[in-house]
Amino acid sequence: MMAAQVITPIGVGDVVSKAGQAKKDGYRLVQIGCTKIGDDFEIIYVYDKDFTLLSYRITVKEDVVIPSISSEYFGAFVYENEIHDLYGLHVSGINIDFKGTFYKTAIKHPFNVTITKEGDSCQNK
């Protein structure tokens, strides 16, 4: 059994300052991930140092603009573009902004909608 993982809730305004602090403390960015729960979106920022995780969670509504942490961590652009393309959330100030062309999907913002596919379990009609 491994140690329990703690995810600290923070406000949207603290995202960049916490990222800056993490960078100063020698953490590397592990991932940014999003989960839709009801009408809310949970975004979890995960950092790692010597195999110890540091996680922050923000909970936002769809219309909130999330600040990009790509000024602190260059590599954050892949995750932030992904959140934009799959969830339709707005992230401002990404260093390499694909403006919705990172993933091309059949349905726009697939993780933000409930997909009901036509009755047939096999689509190959």
Partner 1 sequence: MSKQITVPFGPQHPVLPEPLHLDLVLEDETVVDVIPSIGYVHRGLEKLVEKREYTEYVFIAERICGICSFIHSQTYVQGIEQIMGLEVPERATYLRTIWGEYSRLHSHLLWLGLFADSMGFESVFMNAWRLREHILDDLEATTGGRVIQGVCKVGGVRKDITPEKLDEMLKGLRGMEHELNDLTNVFLNDSSMKHRLRGVGVLKKEDAYVLGAVGPTARGSGLAIDIRSTGYGALGKINFKPVVEYDGDCYARCAVRAKEMFTSIDIIEQCIKKIPDGPVDMKVTGAPDGEYFSRTEQPRGEVIHYIKGNGKKNLVRHRVRTPTFTNIPPLVTLLKGVDLADVPVVVLSIDPCIGCAER
Partner 2 sequence: MTYLAKSPWILHYDASSCNGCDIEVLACLTPMYDVERFGILNTGNPKHADIFVITGSINEQNREIVKNLYDQIPRPNVVVAVGICACSGGVFRECYNVSGGIDKVIPVDVYVPGCACRPESIIDGIVTALGILEEKRTKMVLDVDKKEHRHAGLNPDHILSTGGVQ
- Which positions lie near partner 2, rule CB under 8 A? 104-107, 110, 115, 117, 121-125
Is 28 an interacting residue with respect to partner 1 (CB under 8 A)? yes
Provide the minimum distance between the beta carbon of 121 and partner 2 in the complex, in angstroms, as a whole number: 7
Assign residue 52 a region (left: φ > 0; alpha: ψ between -120 and 50; beta: otherwise): beta
Residues between 81 and 120 that touch partner 1 (CB under 8 A): 96, 98, 101-105, 110-111, 115
Is 1 an interacting residue with respect to partner 1 (CB under 8 A)? yes
By CB under 8 A, name the one of 20, 53, 60, 88 that touches partner 1.
53
Distance CA 45, CA 108 (A): 24
Residues within the interface to partner 1 (CB under 8 A): 1-2, 5, 7, 23, 28-31, 33-37, 44, 46, 51, 53, 55, 73-75, 77-78, 96, 98, 101-105, 110-111, 115
